[in-house]
Amino acid sequence: MEETELKLKTARTLKWNTIDKFASQVFYGVTGVVLANLLSKEDFGLVGAMLVFQAFASLFVDSGFCAALIQKKSPTETDYCTVFYFNLGISIAIYAILWACAPLIADTFGDQRLISLSRVMFLSFIINATALVQTNRMMKQMTMARVAIANSLGLVVSGAVGIWLAVEGYGAWAIVWQTIVLATVKSVFLWTTTGWLPRTGFSMASLRSVFSVGSGVMVCSFLNTLSLNAYSFIIGAYYNLAKLGCYTQADKWSKMGIQSIAQILTASFLPVLSGFQDDRERLLRAMRKMNRFTAYLVFPLLLLLTTCAEPIFHILFGTKWDEAIILFQILAVRGIFIVLATNINNYILGLGRSRSLVVYESVKDALMIVAIVVTIPMGITAMIWGQLVASALFFVYAVIVAGRIVGYPTRNVVGDILPYAVISGAVAAVQCLVLVGIANPWLNILAQTSVCFALYYVANRFLNSTIQREVLGYALGRFRKKKEGRKG
> Would you say residue 331 lies in a domain?
yes
Tell me how many domains the chain contains. Answer: 2
Cα separation, 280 vs 405, whole angstroms: 11
> Would you say residue 93 lies in a domain?
yes
Do 260 and 177 fall within a single domain? no
> Would you say residue 261 lies in a domain?
yes
Do 296 and 352 fall within a single domain? yes
**Alpha-helix residue ranges (DSSP H) falling in 110-240:** 113-121, 124-129, 132-140, 145-167, 173-193, 204-238
Q: What is each CA distance from 37 to 28, 89, 249, 340, 456, in whole angstroms? A: 14, 39, 12, 33, 35
> Would you say residue 435 lies in a domain?
yes
Q: Given 151, 178, 213, which residue is the final one in a domain?
A: 213
Crossing angle for the helix pair 113-121 and 41-62, to the nearest 10 degrees: 40
Do 192 and 266 fall within a single domain? no
Q: Given 213, 228, 252, which residue is the final one in a domain?
A: 213
**Closest of 68, 352, 87 to residue 211, by C-alpha:** 68
Q: Positive or negative CA dihedral for 180, 186, 187, 188?
A: positive
Q: What is the pTM of this model?
A: 0.72
> Would you say residue 479 lies in a domain?
yes
Cα separation, 100 vs 104, whole angstroms: 9
Do 266 and 302 fall within a single domain? yes
Do 107 and 163 fall within a single domain? yes
Do 197 and 248 fall within a single domain? no
Which structural domain, as residue segments, surrounds residue 19?
1-213
One digit per residue, the tens of pLDDT, for the chain of length 488 reads 455 555 566 666 666 667 777 777 788 788 888 998 898 888 888 888 888 888 777 666 655 666 666 666 677 788 888 888 888 888 899 899 999 999 998 998 888 999 999 999 999 988 988 888 888 777 766 666 777 888 888 989 999 999 999 999 999 999 999 999 999 998 999 888 877 888 887 778 777 776 665 566 666 667 667 766 788 888 887 887 888 888 888 988 888 767 666 666 665 555 565 556 566 677 777 778 888 888 888 899 899 999 999 999 999 888 888 999 999 999 999 999 988 888 887 777 666 665 666 777 788 888 988 998 899 888 889 999 999 999 999 999 988 887 777 778 888 888 989 999 999 999 999 888 877 678 888 999 998 899 999 999 999 989 888 888 877 776 666 555 555 555 55
**Closest of 177, 168, 159, 165 to residue 119, by C-alpha:** 177
**Closest of 132, 163, 135, 125 to residue 32, by C-alpha:** 163
> Would you say residue 59 lies in a domain?
yes
> Would you say residue 222 lies in a domain?
no
Per the document, the length of the chain is 488
Q: Given 213, 228, 259, which residue is the final one in a domain?
A: 213
Q: What is each CA distance from 426 to 191, 287, 419, 423, 458, in whole angstroms? A: 49, 26, 11, 5, 13
Query: For 108, what's the count of Cα atoms within 13 Å in the CB-facing half-sphere?
Result: 18
Do 275 and 408 fall within a single domain? yes
Do 297 and 197 fall within a single domain? no
- What phi-psi label fits residue 110: left (phi over 0), alpha (psi between -120 and 50 degrees) or beta? left
Do 298 and 415 fall within a single domain? yes
Do 305 and 194 fall within a single domain? no
Q: For residue 461, how far is the Cα from the chain centroid?
A: 30
- Distance spanning both ends of the chain, measured CA to CA: 31
Do 138 and 280 fall within a single domain? no
> Would you say residue 223 lies in a domain?
no
Do 363 and 268 fall within a single domain? yes
How many C-beta atoms surround the C-beta of residue 168 within 10 A? 10
